[in-house]
Structure 1
Amino acid sequence: MAADSGKVEASGISHAATELAITVTPIGTVHNGRSDPGNSDHWADVASTILVEPRFGDRCLTGLADFSHVEVVFFFDRLAERDAYRQPLRPRGRADLPEVGVFADRGPRRPNRIGCTICEVVSARGRELRVRGLDAVDGTPVLDIKPVMRQFLPEHSRQSEWVDRLMAEYFAS
């Protein structure tokens, strides 16, 4: 894409770039003992309760307890987006990791500040969903909850070797 052409080139097809404002309303809120978004390791044993908004009714989680895991989509409301995304950066600023583009990192300072995590279902009753391993701090707005279904998971996946070093303590107990 030329810097100011206003057109996006993809597979030889030209598309006019459009500014689109999207409004989302949280469906619930995370409640747990973690309040510091800078304390970003050791999430494995963190128990969180997601309290779903009353507008969904007291039966909105019916059937969810039959699943072992859910994918929680949330909004990183405590951290600003980065000032610029054009240059690759080292994840968490670590010198031992390679520079990567914004879409090769899962950090919170990203476009639209959307996070998503697959976490274990502990219980689902009424409007309260209890999960373990959700890496969102207390008060985080939840945008959606989806059950994890095997058919949506890849049979095989690969990742860069540096990710194991980055994530060594992330989900540690």
Structure 2
Amino acid sequence: MTTYEVEAVATVVGGHTRVQDDYQGGVESVIRLNEAYPLETLQGIDEFSHLTVTWRFHLAQLEDVQLHARSPRGNSQWPATGTFVHRNHRRPNQLAVSYPRLLGVEGRDLRVTDLDAVDGTPVVDLAPYFQKMGPRGTVRQPAWPGEMLADYWRDAAERPDAGLP
């Protein structure tokens, strides 16, 4: 297999302090651009409402990768699906893509909300979200992702154990 080496362009600062499946909404964090990049690399980004952020599940281990079909979240009511049907850290490269809302830009800091990465997460790519580059045509999916993610963007303050670190 061909391998690629990538360096983080930014780091998530603040926001979620632990990995969790649901209640990702309403949490503000900062995407801090690495000092190796000049500030002008962010010029014009404040014109956009949302970002496309590619990040690495840095708290995951290589042993977490599972190359077999399994039910999402271990729930046998949902069908067993293959590794590349899941959107979690059990995929080989342990990468994720998120679309947080951009609240503001202060120097190297991009203030965002609704980023489902945790404090310290390396960001391997960053771009504005272009509506015209989103999916074309009707989006189709089975029922189980909607069921599984019903509480995904609920406000983190509503989480039953919200007071825990």
TM-score range normalised by the length of the shorter chain: 0.7 to 0.9
Higher strand share: 1
| Partner SS state of residue 39, structure 2 | coil
Matched with 1:75 is 56
Q: Which residue of 2 aligns with 1:24?
A: 6
Aligned residues: 153
Q: Does residue 107 in structure 1 map to residue 102 in structure 2?
A: no
Secondary structure at the residue paired with 1:112?
coil
Aligned equivalents of 1:110, 1:152: Cα separation in 2: 24
Residue 159 of structure 1: CA displacement? Answer: 1.3
Cα offset for 1:29? 0.5
Q: Which residue of 1 aligns with 2:118?
A: 137
Q: Contact 1:88–1:100 at 8 Å: present in 2 too? A: yes
Which AA in structure 2 matches 1:153?
G
Between the aligned partners of 1:131 and 1:62, the Cα distance in structure 2 is: 17
Which structure has the larger Rg? 1
Give, in angstroms, the shift of residue 96 of structure 1: 2.2
Alignment of 1:1-173 (within 5 A): 19-37=1-19, 39-81=20-62, 82-85=64-67, 87-155=68-136, 156-173=138-155
Cα contact 1:61–1:125 (8 A) shared by 2:
no
Q: TM-score, normalised by structure 2?
A: 0.87
Structure 2 unmatched ranges of 5 or more = 156-165
Counterpart CA distance in 2 for 1:31 and 1:131 is 10
Q: CA RMSD in A?
A: 1.4
| Runs ≥4 residues deviating over 4 A | none
| Structure 1, gaps ≥5 residues long | 1-18
- Take 1:50 and 1:131, find their aligned partners in 2: how far apart are those partners? 7
- Other-structure match for 2:163: none
Q: Distance in 1 between matches of 2:105 and 2:141?
A: 32
Q: Do 1:59 and 1:126's aligned partners in 2 also have CA atoms closer than 8 Å?
A: no
Letter of the 2:141 partner, please give it: Q
Q: CA deviation at 1:83?
A: 4.7
Whether the aligned pair in 2 keeps the contact of 1:62 and 1:125 (CA below 8 Å) is no
